[in-house]
Amino acid sequence: MDLIANLSLGFGVAFTPINLLYALIGCLLGTLIGVLPGIGPVATIAMLLPATYALPPVSALIMLAGIYYGAQYGGSTTAILVNLPGESSSIVTCIDGYQMARQGRAGPALAAAGLGSFFAGCVGTLILAAFAPPLTELAFQFGPAEYFSLMILGLIGAVVLASGSLLKAIAMIILGLLMGLVGTDVNSGVARYSFNIPELTDGIGFVAVAMGVFGYGEIISNLALPEEHREVFTAKVQGLWPTKQDFKDMTPAVLRGTFLGSALGILPGGGALLASFAAYALEKKIKGKPGEVQFGKGNIRGVAGPESANNAGAQTSFIPLLTLGIPPNAVMALMVGAMTIHNVQPGPQVMSSNPELFWGLIASMWIGNAMLIVLNLPLIGIWIKLLTVPYRWLFPAIVLFCAIGVYTTNNSTFDIWLVAGFGFIGYAFNKLGMEPSPMMLGFILGPMMEENLRRALLLSRGDWSVFVTRGLSAGLLLAAGAMLVIVLLPSIRAKREEAFVED
Partner 1 sequence: MGPGYFPLMLGVLLALLGAVITFKAMVVETEDGEKVGKWIWRPVGYIVAANIAFGVLLGGLPSLGVPAMGMVIAIYALALIAAKAGTEFKLKEVLILATILVAGSYVTFIMLLKLQIQVWPAFITG
Task: Provide the binding-site residues for partner 1, judged by CB under 8 A.
Answer: 51, 54, 167-168, 170-171, 174-175, 177-178, 181, 185, 187-188, 190, 192-193, 216, 219-220, 223-224, 227, 391-393, 395-397, 399-400, 402-404, 407-408, 411-413, 416-417, 419-420, 423-424, 427, 431-432, 449-450, 453-454, 457-458, 462
Question: Which amino acid belongs to residue 89?
Answer: S
- Taking Cα atoms as reference points, which of 409, 473, 175, 438 lies closest to residue 327? 438
Between 115 and 182, CB nearer to partner 1: 182
Between 232 and 457, CB nearer to partner 1: 457
Range 255-284 burial, b when 16+ CB lie within 10 A, else e: bbbbbbbbbbbbbbbbbbbbbbbbbbbbbb
For 455, residues 6+ apart whose C-beta sits below 8 A from its C-beta are: 144
- Phi, psi of 84, rounded to the nearest 5 degrees: -120, 120
Could you give the dihedral angle defined by the CA atoms of residues 386, 388, 389 and 390, in that order, rounded to the nearest 10 degrees? 150
Helix axes 57-82, 17-35, angle to 10 degrees: 30
Between 255 and 399, CB nearer to partner 1: 399
Q: Distance between CA atoms of 253 and 280, rounded to whole angstroms? A: 10
Q: Distance between CA atoms of 339 and 372, rounded to whole angstroms? A: 24
Cα Dmax for the chain: 70
Between 11 and 424, CB nearer to partner 1: 424
Number of Cβ within 10 Å of residue 208's Cβ equals: 25
CB 167, min distance to partner 1, A: 5
CB 26, min distance to partner 1, A: 15
CB 407, min distance to partner 1, A: 7
Are 298 and 99 a contacting pair, CB within 8 Å?
yes
Between 297 and 455, CB nearer to partner 1: 455
- Phi, psi of 354, rounded to the nearest 5 degrees: -135, 55
At residue 154, the 3 state secondary structure works out as helix
Between 4 and 190, CB nearer to partner 1: 190
CB 192, min distance to partner 1, A: 6
Q: Distance between CA atoms of 125 and 311, rounded to whole angstroms? A: 10
Between 32 and 111, CB nearer to partner 1: 32
CB 231, min distance to partner 1, A: 19
CB 208, min distance to partner 1, A: 11
Between 343 and 411, CB nearer to partner 1: 411
- Phi, psi of 184, rounded to the nearest 5 degrees: -75, 130
Between 241 and 417, CB nearer to partner 1: 417
Are 155 and 442 a contacting pair, CB within 8 Å?
yes
Which DSSP string corresponds to 107-159? Answer: HHHHHHHHHHHHHHHHHHHHHHHHHHHHHHHHHTT--HHHHHHHHHHHHHHHH
CB 254, min distance to partner 1, A: 36
Between 358 and 395, CB nearer to partner 1: 395
Q: Is the dihedral of CA 494, 496, 501, 503 positive or negative?
A: positive
CB 221, min distance to partner 1, A: 8
- Phi, psi of 140, rounded to the nearest 5 degrees: -70, -15
Between 227 and 231, CB nearer to partner 1: 227
CB 52, min distance to partner 1, A: 10
Q: Distance between CA atoms of 275 and 262, rounded to whole angstroms? A: 8
Helix axes 144-160, 471-488, angle to 10 degrees: 10
- Taking Cα atoms as reference points, which of 118, 121, 159, 26 lies closest to residue 316? 121
- Taking Cα atoms as reference points, which of 329, 415, 399, 391 lies closest to residue 42? 329
CB 300, min distance to partner 1, A: 33
- Phi, psi of 183, rounded to the nearest 5 degrees: 120, -170
CB 308, min distance to partner 1, A: 32
Are 39 and 218 a contacting pair, CB within 8 Å?
yes
Between 166 and 263, CB nearer to partner 1: 166
Q: Distance between CA atoms of 31 and 36, rounded to whole angstroms? A: 9
Between 143 and 288, CB nearer to partner 1: 143
CB 363, min distance to partner 1, A: 26
CB 310, min distance to partner 1, A: 27
